[in-house]
A and B are shown apart, each in its own frame.
Chain A
Amino acid sequence: MNNDAVKKITFRVQRFDPEKDRKPHFQEFTVPVKRGTTVMEGLLYIKENLDSSLAFRTSCRMGVCGSCGMLINEYPHLACHTQVEEFHSDKLTLKPLPNMAIIKDLVPKLDTLFEHHKSVKPYIIREDKEEMEKPTAGYLQKPQQLDEYLQFTYCIKCGLCIAACPTSASDKAFLGPQALGQAYRYCADSRDEGQDFRYAIVEKDHAVWNCHFAAACSEACPKGVDPALGIQLLRKGVAAKALGIKKTAAPATLATPPALAKPKIDVPEFTVEPK
């Protein structure tokens, strides 16, 4: 496609209105696209010009809020940062993410994702309660220690990994790559001491040991997270702990401010008399 050529593309969209329909059906729309048109822009075009009753989620339109996950030609994508031309096809089929209930049209119910995420204790757990309540300084964390978990923090909770996961497809109670990846993220954080709590959760049924290591999650992730790796590393940690060979480093310590102070940068004198 050259820059300004406009092409007509057929969007075949799965529709489902819970107040009217008993099961989903498809509807086709013709959408003009040019170079740079995203699937989301196509959907917005349909909504503004062809059928305003079409329902889908959208917000940031830059691939960071995680609203617009959907199946495009049978593969999970974020609609807002996926170009129409990527598919080299005159027809796109859009469906809501699988492995979840449908609320309406392209809007899936993600409640299970949020619940599973919450269940793995996705927050820093530490013994020094007082410091956690009233911080006196930052904990020290070297750039290498940051790299240990950094990629797992890119998760935007869009649910694409769960849509791609074969285990999630068959086992509804499976915690899923999102939650397990986040469990690893906090275990790998040098500031955290809550590993044992999370290990106790992820080694139960429907968790790390149920992953088939298809790694479909890592392939589908739009932000470059590798949940499959996180799950494998969790397995390694859980097994090492069960065998009593797990080494645990002491958690990060507080930074102490350097003693030497340079003179302050000049600030204009106060010109208002204090009352």
Chain B
Amino acid sequence: MKNTYLQISQMITGALVAVLLAIHITVQQWFVVLGLLGIKVADPTTWGSMMERAHQGSWVGIYIALLAFGLFHALNGFRNILLEINLSALAIRILTGFIIAFGVIFLILGTYAPIALFSSYR
């Protein structure tokens, strides 16, 4: 079942990354689009606006989720590609170990910043 669950997760995280990335890009760019239509909105790329979002729980959640899903999708996809070059069972184990370690380290690192920022607001 392992491969099947990994593949299902790959598909689901792919879809989720697409949705979350769409939210991210829309928010970052929508003031430009609205500006073209003559509606003035606050610039979301200013320091103040970013700090404001960093202190909203829902945004923190969205970014952590994007990070987690993106990391999984990218690293699992990378592993799938490498597995096609007929590695030995040991090499696969080592590769998988490296990839998991890499993912966990970046997940911790990437989650630490927004959580620290969020909790500093209290």
Contact = CB atoms under 8 A, between A and B. Distances in A.
Contacts of B5: 242
B1 A171 contact: no
B25 to A, nearest CB: 28
B85 interface: yes
A205 B4 contact: no
A167 B84 contact: yes
B3 A243 contact: no
Contacts of B84: 167, 170-171, 210
A17 interface: no
SS of B interface (majority): helix
A238 B11 CA distance: 14
Interface string A193-216: 000000000011101011000000
Contacts of B18: none
A207 B7 CA distance: 12
Contacts of B7: 209, 235, 239
Interface of B: 1, 3-8, 80, 83-86
A172 B85 CA distance: 9
A124 interface: no
Given A242-B8, A243-B8, A209 B86 contact: no
Nearest to B8: A239
A154 B71 CA distance: 44
Contacts of A172: 86
Nearest to B92: A205
Contact-residue bracket for chain A: 10 to 19
Interface in A180-230: 203-205, 207, 209-210
A241 B4 CA distance: 9
B1 A205 contact: no
Contacts of B83: 205, 210
A205 to B, nearest CB: 7
Contacts of B80: 209-210
A69 B96 CA distance: 39
Nearest to A243: B8
Contacts of B4: 203, 209, 238-239, 241-242
Contacts of A238: 4
A172 B86 CA distance: 7
B3 to A, nearest CB: 5
B78 to A, nearest CB: 15
